[in-house]
A and B are shown apart, each in its own frame.
Chain A
Amino acid sequence: MELAAQTFRVTRADLVRYAGASGDFNPIHWSDRVSTKVGLPGVIAHGMFTMALVGRAITTWAGSPDAVVDYGVRFTRPVVVPDDDQGTEIEVTARVREVTEDGLTRLDVTATCLGEKVLSQARATIRTAA
């Protein structure tokens, strides 16, 4: 079963806010000068910010903010965030892989930006909604 796609807009302002909230001030997430110097195409989103947005999608599908039992991802491609008002967009979809007898639902999750996968092996286990 496929779950309804969810999209998340990401702007530079979001990265600044996430840096402050998370304490991850790596300049590749706010400085074009530093990010291009280390060979990136520009400022990129924190991998953990992408993971947090995908986590929002998962809790929304679960129907409860406390239903996630296990959640893991591999970061495969950076999310480049241009310095404009539109930023970029991450689309998140998922497929139900398994519903277990002990009340758990296992999801295979896909996150894309500009049509390219930004995560691989993204999997979550949630408590099945009653």
Chain B
Amino acid sequence: MPLDPSFVGRIYPPTAPYQVGREKIREFARAIGATDPAHHDPVAAQALGHADVVAPPTFPVIVTMAASQQIIDDPALGVDFSRLVHGDQRFAYTRPVVAGDELVCVNTIEDVSTRGGHGFLTTRTDVSTVGGEPVVAVWAKYVVRGEG
């Protein structure tokens, strides 16, 4: 089933706040082998001017991938999850994520198209604090592989 192009420009309601924990940042940093003290030690992070430990650059994907379920699970858009391939990913940071942030995501569908039997979906997720401070804008492009 082709993706419905009328979804371009659709903005979804803000997601429930995600509380960024210090141990989650440490766990993620360990998993990718990021040993810089600012990811692990609040004092080292404070020396760089941050309130608490600093997340590595791709950490926000934990928050945005969960938030994008809003789009991927939208029955009206009709994405077949088993055929979904992650094509592109981009982060544009206002500032790094730090422990203690409470983050809210607003998803926008930037593009929906069908070419050569495959569906293409571009999402933009604006991540801000519950107080409304912008933190990072995140784009993901997906290919929904055609059948056969």
Residues on A close to B: CB < 8 A?
A: 8, 14, 17-18, 20-24, 47-49, 51-53, 55-56, 58-59, 64-66, 68-75, 121
Cβ-based interface call for B12 (8 A): no
Structural contact, A71 and B31, CB atoms closer than 8 A: no
Q: Which residues of B contact A66 (CB under 8 A)?
A: 38, 48, 50, 54, 96
| CB contact between B89 and one of A17, A22, A48, A53 (< 8 Å): that residue | A48
Interface residues of B in 61-99 (CB under 8 A from A): 61-62, 65-66, 86-93, 96
Q: Which of B27, B36, B57, B88 has its CB near the most chain A CB atoms (within 10 A)?
A: B57
Tell me, rounded to whole Å, the shortest Cβ–Cβ distance linking A97 to chain B.
16
**Tally of chain B residues near chain A (CB < 8 A):** 31
Structural contact, B54 and A65, CB atoms closer than 8 A: yes
Structural contact, A52 and B58, CB atoms closer than 8 A: yes
Q: How far is the CA of A70 from the CA of B91 in the complex (A)?
A: 6
Cβ-based interface call for B132 (8 A): no
Residue of chain B at shortest CB distance from A54: B58
Given contacts A48-B89, A52-B58, contact A8 B33 (CB under 8 A): yes
| CB contact between A65 and one of B31, B38, B92 (< 8 Å): that residue | B38
Q: Which residues of B contact A75 (CB under 8 A)?
A: 86-89
Q: Which residues of A contact B54 (CB under 8 A)?
A: 65-66
Q: How far is the CA of A66 from the CA of B47 in the complex (A)?
A: 12
Structural contact, A65 and B34, CB atoms closer than 8 A: yes
Q: How far is the CA of A12 from the CA of B138 in the complex (A)?
A: 28
Tell me, rounded to whole Å, the shortest Cβ–Cβ distance linking A123 to chain B.
9
| CB contact between B88 and one of A17, A20, A21, A74 (< 8 Å): that residue | A74
Structural contact, A22 and B31, CB atoms closer than 8 A: yes
Structural contact, B32 and A23, CB atoms closer than 8 A: no
Cβ-based interface call for B30 (8 A): yes
Q: Which residues of B contact A65 (CB under 8 A)?
A: 34, 36, 38-39, 48, 54, 56, 96
Q: How far is the CA of A59 from the CA of B59 in the complex (A)?
A: 13
Given contacts A65-B39, A66-B50, contact A72 B62 (CB under 8 A): no
23 example contacts (A-B, Cβ-Cβ < 8 A) are as follows A20-B31, A21-B31, A22-B62, A23-B66, A47-B89, A48-B86, A49-B32, A52-B58, A55-B32, A56-B34, A64-B48, A65-B38, A65-B48, A65-B54, A65-B56, A65-B96, A66-B48, A66-B50, A68-B57, A68-B91, A71-B58, A72-B91, A121-B88
Q: How far is the CA of A58 from the CA of B58 in the complex (A)?
A: 12
| CB contact between B93 and one of A23, A70, A73, A121 (< 8 Å): that residue | A70
Cβ-based interface call for B139 (8 A): yes
Tell me, rounded to whole Å, the shortest Cβ–Cβ distance linking A69 to chain B.
6
